[in-house]
Structure 1
Amino acid sequence: MKLVLNESPLKKMHAHAEADYPNECCGFFYGQADEIRTVTTVREVKNAKEGDQRRRFQISPRDYQQAEKFALEHDLDLLGVYHSHPDHPAEPSEHDRKVAMPWFSYIIISVQDGKATTTRSWRLNEDRQFEEESIEQTELHRT
């Protein structure tokens, strides 16, 4: 499993994660899904989690619907969800695993003291366990 992440979308995710610190941020990423997934576009969404957002995020059903509509309108594949882990590693929690959907990639950005430090991607396997997906960073071809 491999995810190609263009520089501009990665910068947008990092900026969003740093801006929302100490809370978790969240959003969608899009691109082309062939044997290798290539991320070209990022869209932020509001963390809809009520209460403490420092350890949880939630995406509203309406935001998921709008994400799917955006993908169709722009001839893109909705590849997955990104979110941040403030002052925690870029590893999925048990809660992340329970709410994850098959096929999606899940990018997690560790934000330490307000600075994005580590970015990793994960996908569910057939046993509903996360497996890490390698990330290759490239120059931007499209936004």
Structure 2
Amino acid sequence: MTIAISQDQIQIIVDRAENIYPEECCGILLGTISGSLKTVVEVIPTANVWVKSELGDDLADPTEISRTKTSRYTIDPQDIFQATKRGRYLELEIVGFFHSHPDNPAVPSICDRDLAWHVYSYPIVSVMQGKVNDFKSWVLDDLGIFQQEEEISFLKLP
């Protein structure tokens, strides 16, 4: 898969990641999918609503209890619903979800993999000491393994 995203759209994500640091930022990407090309039309930053208790008491990994917004994110289902409605109105669809990794590389975590869906792109922004230093987009393959999207096209979209 290839993701086409403008420099202005990337800048929205970068600004959000630096402003939210040291917490993870997150958001939704609306756009189109044509064959293996995903074109981002709109970036929708959202609040990180992670709460450690949301995973329940039956955690497979008890270390998850200590996780905070500095290492996890959750997008409110209402935000996803509103983005879906906006997409329908604009004849777009959700093509991905972005988030940041404060003081960590732009590489998907095990949690990222466990919560990902095959159809979406997952751009990750690495923020080291408050400044973005890397941006990579990932897609989950049919075997459940993240693959870096082959190319990020920096298109200037109208």
Q: Into which bin does the TM-score normalised by the smaller protein fall?
A: over 0.9
The residue aligned with 2:103 is 87
Q: 1 CA distance for matches of 2:151 and 2:5? A: 7
The residue aligned with 1:11 is 11
Q: Is the Cα contact below 8 Å between 1:88 and 1:110 reproduced in 2?
A: yes
1:68-107 matches, within 5 Å, as 68-107=84-123
| In the alignment, structure 1 residue 41 sits paired with structure 2 residue 57 | no
Larger Rg: 2
Q: Is the Cα contact below 8 Å between 1:28 and 1:44 reproduced in 2?
A: yes
Q: Is the Cα contact below 8 Å between 1:3 and 1:135 reproduced in 2?
A: yes
Q: CA deviation at 1:117?
A: 1.1
The residue aligned with 2:148 is 132
* Aligned residue among 78, 83, 107 for 1:67: 83
Q: Is the Cα contact below 8 Å between 1:40 and 1:140 reproduced in 2?
A: no
Q: Is the Cα contact below 8 Å between 1:120 and 1:135 reproduced in 2?
A: no
Identity %: 33
> In the comparison of the two structures, how many residue pairs are matched?
142
CA RMSD across the alignment: 1.2
Q: 2 CA distance for matches of 1:128 and 1:139? A: 29
How does the TM-score come out when normalised to structure 1? 0.94
Q: CA deviation at 1:134?
A: 2.5
Q: CA deviation at 1:38?
A: 1.3
Q: Is the Cα contact below 8 Å between 1:3 and 1:133 reproduced in 2?
A: yes
Q: 2 CA distance for matches of 1:106 and 1:129? A: 13
The residue aligned with 2:129 is 113
Q: CA deviation at 1:70?
A: 1.3
1:20-39 matches, within 5 Å, as 20-35=20-35, 36-39=37-40
How does the TM-score come out when normalised to structure 2? 0.85
**Structure 1 or 2: more helix by fraction:** 2
Gaps of 5+ in 1: none
Q: 1 CA distance for matches of 2:7 and 2:27? A: 17
Q: 2 CA distance for matches of 1:130 and 1:139? A: 24
The residue aligned with 2:64 is none
* Aligned residue identity for 1:118: D
Q: CA deviation at 1:135?
A: 3.4
| Runs of 4+, deviation exceeding 6 Å | none
